[in-house]
Amino acid sequence: MAVTAAKPITAFRVLTMAVNLSRLTTGTMDSNDGHEKTSKASIILQFNQLEASPLKGGNMQMQLPFPGVAISESWLTLPAAQDTAVPVFAGFISSIPIGVLYEVYSYEQFSLWAKENDWEEGTVLPYALRLYFDNGGRRCFVLSLGSLGNGEILKALTAPEAWQAVKQQKDITLLSVPDSVLLDDNNHVEWLGYWQHLLELAQECRAHALLDAPSSPTSTQLCLEMFSGLNAECGSVYWPRLKSAYQYHQPEGRLYNNKGRLDAVFLPPSAVVAAVVGKVDRDKGVWSAPANVPLYKIIQPEYTARQGSGLFQCHGRSINLIRSFPLRGCRIWGCRTLSSEVEYDWRQYIQTRRTLLYIQQSLVQLCHFSVFEPNTQITWLKMKGLSLSWLNELWLKGGLMGRQEQEAFYVNIGLGESMTAHEVAQGQLSMEVGVALHCPAEFITLRLQFAIQQEKRG
């Protein structure tokens, strides 16, 4: 290519041309096996240098070297698999101020931290953490409820300033208070107050509350009959307490039986249930029931299933039992929430509600880019395509019911489908998602809303 110039040209500025393609198939050769690979990419052609050489008659000829080609991956990807079972364990630690949240990855790490602090007399939190990790528990949080002070346990458990850090930590999905065993077994009002507080907290934090019950089966039965609070589907109760393989090691906590040996530590079941929930999520998926799983470091339940036969109900409100089976050990028997809805209602089952929370949070994370996009059909198509792709992957893993996609899930978004013209004009973006968790084509509907940033017009 020749160019006639009025004046001699000695140099040229670097010219950069970018071609952004949302879906472009490019063939590149793999240096290892020589096979052609296909990729969606943005091709950036960069002319690093334009060489000029003088010709006769004042003409200049530019020699264009072969441009360098750089391939940069720039597609929207599905969110990485998030940890669906991250519990927080609350207990009384007198040497740490109320509301301090501590992240723990192993029992060894917790032991080093626990030796540096003073624990309230009667607390079972250190043993509960050990039981959690011995049953396969992983990352968790420990929340300090401070000192008991005047001994008002319920007031300390429900103090608003104690749970602020939990509300701000978005990774927490399970709530447990092992030191609830310090409540008076015969004070049903305190137990119901503790249940209701954690249920409300679970609803606000989009988590699930693992609740403990009084030691006595009679007291537990009365609490179950008296409970009439809201957000019952946000938590589940487990009973009875468990005789562990641990022994009290602190001098002030030593209790001797008639044979002169140290008594075993009886622990509330919420800590080991949290470990089982995490294990089931990792092995089978969040949509699987956290039940019929063997428990380790447990000798036996404090009471037999026959003694608590009235607590587990097939219909209505129910408590989940920890049962001992010959040659099979101790296992969780039941996966019910505190909901008393009609039979086969999704609110009755732990795995159903936790799966809905998982789907909702994953889709919100996946479509978060839309808050910076215009509220137009292009944005709607992007969101619908990504959501359908993610739900299809969940369906293939077994998380949704149905032989075909149409029986397992659907996504509606757009004008006349999930939004009105007035909502679009106001910058409100809504997406309707239906998922079949129990039976094919029986959809549970989720409605996700996003606030679109409006352009300011002068």
Structure confidence at residue 370 (pLDDT) = 86
Domains and CATH numbers, the chain: 2-72 (no CATH), 87-353 (3.40.50.11780), 369-451 (3.30.360)
pLDDT band at residue 33 using 50, 70 and 90 as cut-offs: very low
| Closest to 11 measured CA to CA, from 72, 47, 62 | 62
pLDDT tens figures, 144-181: 998 887 678 899 899 989 999 999 999 999 999 999 99
Contacts of 297 (CB under 8 A, 6+ apart): 130, 131, 134, 135, 244, 245, 246
- C-alpha to C-alpha distance for 272 and 330, rounded to whole angstroms: 11
Least confident of 22-31, 93-102, 120-129, 148-157: 22-31
- C-alpha to C-alpha distance for 313 and 285, rounded to whole angstroms: 26
pLDDT tens figures, 111-126: 888 887 778 778 899 9
Structure confidence at residue 386 (pLDDT) = 95
Contact 289, 352 (CB under 8 A): no
Contacts of 202 (CB under 8 A, 6+ apart): 175, 208, 209, 231, 234, 235
pLDDT band at residue 344 using 50, 70 and 90 as cut-offs: low
* Rounded (5°) CA angle 391-392-396: 115
Contact 8, 54 (CB under 8 A): yes
Mean pLDDT over 82-110 rounds to: 92
Q: Is the pLDDT of residue 81 over 80?
A: no
Cα torsion 190, 194, 196, 202 to 10°: value is 180
pLDDT tens figures, 359-401: 999 999 999 888 888 888 999 999 999 999 999 999 999 999 9
Between the ranges 77-86, 209-218, 371-380, where is the mean pLDDT highest? 209-218
Q: What is the DSSP string of 10-29?
A: -----EEEEE--SS-EEEEE
Q: Is the pLDDT of residue 324 over 70?
A: yes
Least confident of 14-28, 96-110, 250-264: 14-28
Q: Is the pLDDT of residue 77 over 60?
A: no
- C-alpha to C-alpha distance for 131 and 272, rounded to whole angstroms: 6
Q: Is the pTM of this model over 0.85?
A: no
The per-residue pLDDT of the chain, averaged, comes to: 81
pLDDT band at residue 279 using 50, 70 and 90 as cut-offs: very high
